[in-house]
Amino acid sequence: MDQPSSLKLLGSWADSHTHRVQLALKLKSLEFDYQEEDVVNISPALLLHNPVYKKVPVLLHKGRPVVESVVILQYIDETWTGNPLMPADPFERAVARFWCHFAEDKLAPAVGAVFSSSGEGQKAAVDQVHQNLKLLECEIRDGAFEGRRFFGGDKIGMLDIVLGCGSYWLSVFEEVMEVKLVDPESFPAFHAWLRDFEEQNEVKETIPAIDKLLEYARGVRQMMLTLSSSTITSVPATAAAAATTTGNDDVAVDAIDGSSG
């Protein structure tokens, strides 16, 4: 195994994409150094190692940077093959990659829209989240993941990490925005999976306390409302990154499983 100093993660405490990488490293039993980044006032190290997107997370392995959370997860899994995160079967891997893309391309933007909108726009965004969760619910109950404890089987896998690191924001957004996103009666399989995921020791060690996330989300929401009242309709990328994760383009998208990062 590499020495602890050979792995270093640049991340942000509230960033769900950073949490993805932290969880993967824990599941692989890999030691790593961690450097907290101020994603508003970007550090020289972050600019040096991710000059294209200028965001977290960045994994340094023997000084060489790997960026973008899903790319990092794949790199970790291919470099340290013990406790695999992806299935051995090529078709199963393709299915996992598809739903990872779904999480980034469909679910995250919909949840982000709930957080960044109000009125009729928010109602439409909530409906879009429900439509996306219905698709996942069907796959868990009767589709590709039928009969599995986790998407990865008996153990947490790549898709669990991508979906799970960010899904805890759903309950945060429910309280802050006073909406219902994950109804246990409407989405029993997804709800059961999420509760099981959140009970895993490695997940508990990774995800910040709910009260801290609530305080953070309320602060970001207030900032967005203030900007909106000043005729600014979208949060700048730096503020979005500060709001969370996957340091990205939209506060809520980043907070859950956003477009990139």
For β-strands 7-11 and 33-36, DSSP reports them as parallel
Asked if the model's pLDDT at residue 226 lies above 50, the reply is yes
Spatial separation of the C-alpha atoms in residues 119 and 164, rounded to whole Å: 28
Residue 35: what pLDDT?
A: 97
Mean pLDDT of the chain: 88
At residue 238 the predicted structure's pLDDT band, cuts being 50, 70 and 90, is very low
Mean pLDDT of 120-131: 96
Spatial separation of the C-alpha atoms in residues 169 and 15, rounded to whole Å: 11
Q: What percentage of residues in the chain have a pLDDT greater than 90?
A: 78
Residue 246: what pLDDT?
A: 35
Residues 6+ apart with CB under 8 A from 249: 237, 240, 258, 259, 260
Asked if the model's pLDDT at residue 160 lies above 90, the reply is yes
pLDDT tens-place string over residues 170-219: 999 999 999 999 999 999 999 999 999 999 999 999 999 999 999 999 99
At residue 261 the predicted structure's pLDDT band, cuts being 50, 70 and 90, is confident
pLDDT tens-place string over residues 19-67: 999 999 999 999 999 999 998 899 999 999 999 999 999 999 999 999 9
Asked if the model's pLDDT at residue 100 lies above 90, the reply is yes
Asked if the model's pLDDT at residue 250 lies above 60, the reply is no
Q: Phi and psi for 40 in degrees, rounded to 5?
A: -90, -50
Residue 5: what pLDDT?
A: 58
CA terminus-to-terminus distance, the chain: 27
List alpha helices for 39-107, DSSP H. 44-49, 69-79, 90-102
